[in-house]
Homo-oligomer: A and B are copies of this chain.
Amino acid sequence: MSRDLKLSELARRLDAELVGDGERTVSGAAPIETAGPEEVSFLARRKYLQYLPTTRAAAVIVGRDLGEVEPPRGLALLWVDDAHLALADTLSWLYPEEEPEPGVAPTATLGPGVEIGEDVSIGHYVAIGGGVKLGDRVRIGPHCSVGDRSQIGAETELRSQVALYPDTIVGERCILHSGARIGVDGYGYVFTDGGHRKIPQVGRCVIEDDVEIGANSCIDRGSVGETRIGAGSKIDNLVHVAHNVRIGRNCIIVAQVGIAGSTEIGNGVALAGQVGIIGHLSIGDGARVAAQAGVTQDIPAGETWFGHPARPHTRVMRANAAFLKLPELIQRVRRIEKQLGPVGADDD
């Protein structure tokens, strides 16, 4: 599954400064604490410097921002400006992606009027509905179901067991992971005659280009109109995006986040794990929300918010620090009251 690469060649491709034996060959990558003598490793955080003296790796790629390090004898170093970028490049060279054979599995079914581009791969037991359009080099893994009239752009990949509800639009170069549910009915009811009557969910869901959606995440369709995930946004596992939410470009939405209906997320927003956002809000461009925060009001562009209910970062950090001193503070107030004797009733 992996390819061999000489360290001198790796250094050349990375534009890295190589200190050590360029003739040595690596055939894989591994974490610094477990790498073997034919593997290259990475150092991007000072926390992991402790493993440098004892690593068995052939070479370590090090970010220049880590400052001086003292490698053990025989360990090659490759100094780079951006260790994470070098990691991405190195992994793509050492582990070229497996391309499935183009073709439609004999166990797959296609509805009437399906249009299929060039070199498309459709796996076992895939059910493609009527009128679906698949762009060139689309890859669909086993057990996916693609609802009627959906469209999937070129080079997009659906892993196993993905479900697209009817009329869903997915752009180019997207990756949808196993169990992702796209275009699900939104959660909308009107209470009448003693029960909850379903409001038909007749909108659609649009996933723009270069979006990745994690395993078992759920993106609802619009009630009317649409739900839209902007180009380049990346969504982790088990995320919930409700009807008529609009997420901008290049957002980072970490695992188990939930976004309620009609909320608008700007461009370049980062939502950490388990964040919840109520409906009909507006989150400005470049805003950041810390893990588990509960957002109940609009967030201006560029701000970092925190806590439950979420507020600007520094206010919450100070209040959190004070929180654990609260019992002691109550004691201090009690002592003051004792010293002062009877304090008159508050008469404002």
A residues near B, CB below 8 A? 1-2, 29-31, 34, 41-42, 45, 47, 82, 84-85, 87-88, 91-92, 94-95, 97-98, 107, 109, 123-125, 127, 141-143, 145, 148, 159-161, 163, 165-167, 175, 177-179, 181, 184-185, 187, 189-190, 192, 194-200, 202, 210, 212, 214-216, 218, 220, 222, 224-225, 232, 234, 236-238, 240, 242, 244, 250, 252, 254-256, 258, 260, 273-274, 276, 278, 280, 291-292, 294, 296, 307-309, 311, 315-316, 318-327, 329-340, 343-346
- Which B residues are CB-close (under 8 A) to A84? 190, 199
- Which B residues are CB-close (under 8 A) to A196? 232, 234, 250, 252
Nearest CB on B from A230, distance (A) = 11
Question: Of residues A215, A258, A276, which shows the largest number of chain B Cβ atoms within 10 Å of its Cβ?
Answer: A215
Q: How far is the CA of A332 from the CA of B344 in the complex (A)?
A: 10
- Tell whether, in the assembled complex, residue B234 and residue A189 are in contact, meaning their CB atoms are under 8 Å apart: yes
- Tell whether, in the assembled complex, residue B335 and residue A344 are in contact, meaning their CB atoms are under 8 Å apart: yes
- Tell whether, in the assembled complex, residue A192 and residue B92 are in contact, meaning their CB atoms are under 8 Å apart: no
- Tell whether, in the assembled complex, residue B340 and residue A336 are in contact, meaning their CB atoms are under 8 Å apart: yes
- Tell whether, in the assembled complex, residue A181 and residue B212 are in contact, meaning their CB atoms are under 8 Å apart: no
User: How many copies of the polypeptide does the oligomer hold?
Assistant: 3
Nearest B residue to A244 via CB reads B31
- Which B residues are CB-close (under 8 A) to A236? 187, 240
State which of B145, B197, B343 has its C-beta within 8 Å of the C-beta of A336.
B343
State which of B225, B240, B311 has its C-beta within 8 Å of the C-beta of A255.
B240
Nearest B residue to A272 via CB reads B278
- Which B residues are CB-close (under 8 A) to A85? 190, 192, 197
- Which B residues are CB-close (under 8 A) to A343? 332, 335-336, 339
A195 with B250, Cβ < 8 A, contacts A163-B161, A326-B323 known:
yes
Nearest CB on B from A143, distance (A) = 6
- Tell whether, in the assembled complex, residue B187 and residue A237 are in contact, meaning their CB atoms are under 8 Å apart: yes
Question: 4 tightest CB-CB pairs across the interface, nearest first?
Answer: A91-B200, A181-B215, A322-B326, A127-B142
- Which B residues are CB-close (under 8 A) to A335? 343-346
Q: How far is the CA of A332 from the CA of B340 in the complex (A)?
A: 12
- Tell whether, in the assembled complex, residue B225 and residue A212 are in contact, meaning their CB atoms are under 8 Å apart: no
Nearest B residue to A166 via CB reads B98
